[in-house]
Amino acid sequence: MTTDQNMPGYEWSTVQDAPVRELFPGIRLRPLWLGGNGAKAHVLEMDPNTCWQGIDVHEPGPEEVFVVSGVFNDGDRDYPAGSFIHAPAGSSHIPQTMTGCTLFVFYPEG
């Protein structure tokens, strides 16, 4: 993450420069930004035929997802590229994909 000296408060990063952490086999997290109040932004990459291990519970706040590419499934339905999903605090799902997908994931409250 880089701070722009000419624009106070501006920070930027690139997906290819973000460190990669494998959460589960074939599921990788790339942190892009962390706010002072715990808010955070990530890119989540899921290879074809992968599934989150266990249930993903949204705590302490909501989770907001934009499907950048592929088709994401939350355990109930498919969301193609271009879909936006708001999952309120306390909700849960089991992220999975048959095709593979890339997601932008934002946690406004951490």
Domain of residue 25: give its range.
20-107
Tens place of pLDDT per residue across the chain (110 aa):
665 556 667 888 889 999 999 999 999 999 999 998 889 999 999 999 999 999 999 999 999 999 999 999 999 999 999 999 999 999 999 999 999 999 999 999 98
In a domain, 10, yes or no: no
In a domain, 11, yes or no: no
In a domain, 71, yes or no: yes
DSSP conformation class of 97: E
In a domain, 3, yes or no: no
CATH number of the CATH domain containing 49: 2.60.120.10
In a domain, 46, yes or no: yes
In a domain, 63, yes or no: yes
